[in-house]
Amino acid sequence: MTQQPSYLILGAGVFGVSTAYTLIQQYPSAKITLVDRDAFNAPSRVAASWDWNKVVRADYSDIVYCKLALEAQDVFRSDPLYKPYFHESGIFWVCRDDYAKEVLENYKKLGRKADLKAVSVEEAKKLYGGLFEDADYSGGVQNVLINLTSGWANAGDALIAVTKKCVELGVEYIVGDVETLTFDSSGAVCTGVKTAKGDVYIADKIILSTGAYTARLLEQSARSSGKKDISAGGRIVAGGITTGMATLDEESHKRFKDMPVGVQGYTASTGPFIGSLPPTRDRELKWWGQKIFKNTQNVLGTPLSAPPNTPDYNQWNVSPKLKQDIDYANKVFYGKKGATWKMEKHRICWDAFTTSSDFIISPHPSCPSSLYVATCGSFHGYKFFPVLGKYIVQMMQGVLEHELKDKWAWDRERPDEKLNPDWPRWEMKELEGERARL
């Protein structure tokens, strides 16, 4: 009987955990290890997947992601492991381009029926008891997409549940701050990792699901090993965004508790779309802001964007300018309705980006049989949580369909970043002033 290879997965966000869950189901006797700088049930984590809530939608103008998101949503609705965390609240998407038309066409092409439609601004203002009547509809709004089958998930809770299941099935979970990759004497095989404390973990297959830390890790590994070609070389850029929450009073909660996810969509010339998520069980309503930013710093002589080099990425140290970003998001959604709400929680969330916002799910060409990259969620990866592992494992097995292989390749032609509304176009120091941190 052929012995299964061992697997070392770096990063226990949705890319890493989904991979571990898929692998342990396919190969119950294999040695599978997850390494993350934080315990999976820690009260605070740096993983982009760890959050109060995340949007779960299949409303994509890109038909490939539309199809994959529908597949993932089917799992969110039906699988007992995911189902408790999914809330089909619907979505209210203010469109300033042909987005609604493209989404409707994709559902039709895929043969999927859903309760979705595009409505006029005047009709949209009357929906949901007028919750969005004071929203900003300037800037060439064409219509509003309403999809009652979209929604959101208790993100951190779902991540903990699936990670626990992995551990129950035999996956080992190690808390460690990975500093570099290790290689054999030829440099052609990645053998494992070394942590900041000097611990070394080895395996046959190494999977990088390290999110915003990926470019820094690869640069540190290139320097320590002398393998220059291990570097990301600009393919992966860390980006941050601000999230904020307000606790609603009982009267406001009664009115907003059944609201949909709200989205203000913009074009590439303006910037990223802004979102607002329905209240949690603690009556906390959440927003994310309009500014996605880099944190360019000198890493061993190479300028690259990476989160602040502290254990918690300084994620709770949010400047007044970034808090204003959340105030603006509140204003463009709710106007005077939210004018008295007090913003009580702010967090900076970090993720890895490509210029196209496509994932990288690919063998690393420097060590194609031992090192794999599965990351670059670009702030939209969470909704694919239930199916990411399926496609990552297919990539490792060499059976990923050509369309996805090309789309997620390490080396591929990518569009100009200026064409991507969600590309990090600010620098953190511009938004932090004197409190900038590297």
Tell me the mean pLDDT in the region 150-178: 98
How high is the pLDDT of residue 432? 82
Share of the chain above pLDDT 90, in %: 96
Tell me the mean pLDDT in the region 208-220: 98
Nearest residue to 8 via CA among 188, 192, 200: 192
Tell me the mean pLDDT in the region 244-261: 96
How high is the pLDDT of residue 433? 60
Q: Are 107 and 147 in contact (CB under 8 A)?
A: no
Share of the chain above pLDDT 70, in %: 98
Can you tell me the distance from the alpha carbon of 357 to that of 382, in angstroms, rounded to the nearest whole number? 13
Q: Are 385 and 49 in contact (CB under 8 A)?
A: yes
Please, what is the angle between helix 385-397 and helix 14-26, to 10°?
A: 60
How high is the pLDDT of residue 280? 94
How high is the pLDDT of residue 3? 81
Nearest residue to 238 via CA among 408, 353, 375: 353
pLDDT band at 437 (very low <50, low <70, confident <90, very high): very low
Tell me the mean pLDDT in the region 342-365: 97
CATH number belonging to domain 88-151+237-353 = 3.30.9.10
Query: Residue 435 above 60 pLDDT?
Result: no
Tell me the mean pLDDT in the region 263-271: 92
Tell me the mean pLDDT in the region 119-147: 97
Q: Are 214 and 236 in contact (CB under 8 A)?
A: yes
Nearest residue to 24 via CA among 11, 33, 13: 33
Query: Residue 1 above 60 pLDDT?
Result: no
Tell me the mean pLDDT in the region 425-437: 75
Between 271 and 32, residue with greater pLDDT? 32
Can you tell me the distance from the alpha carbon of 271 to that of 268, in angstroms, rounded to the nearest whole number? 5
Tell me the mean pLDDT in the region 134-150: 97
CATH number belonging to domain 7-49+156-235+355-415 = 3.50.50.60
How high is the pLDDT of residue 438? 37
pLDDT band at 434 (very low <50, low <70, confident <90, very high): very low
How high is the pLDDT of residue 11? 98
pLDDT in tens, 105-128: 999 999 999 999 999 999 999 999
**Dihedral class, residue 272 (left if φ above 0, else alpha if ψ from -120 to 50, else beta):** beta
* Cα dihedral 148/154/156/160 (nearest 10): -110
| pLDDT mean across residues, the chain | 96
Query: Residue 2 above 70 pLDDT?
Result: no
Domain ranges of the chain: 7-49+156-235+355-415, 88-151+237-353
Can you tell me the distance from the alpha carbon of 349 to that of 351, in angstroms, rounded to the nearest whole number? 7
Residues linked to residue 351 through DSSP beta bridges, in sequence order: 239
Query: Residue 90 above 50 pLDDT?
Result: yes
Can you tell me the distance from the alpha carbon of 259 to that of 253, in angstroms, rounded to the nearest whole number? 10
**pTM of the predicted structure, to 2 decimals:** 0.97
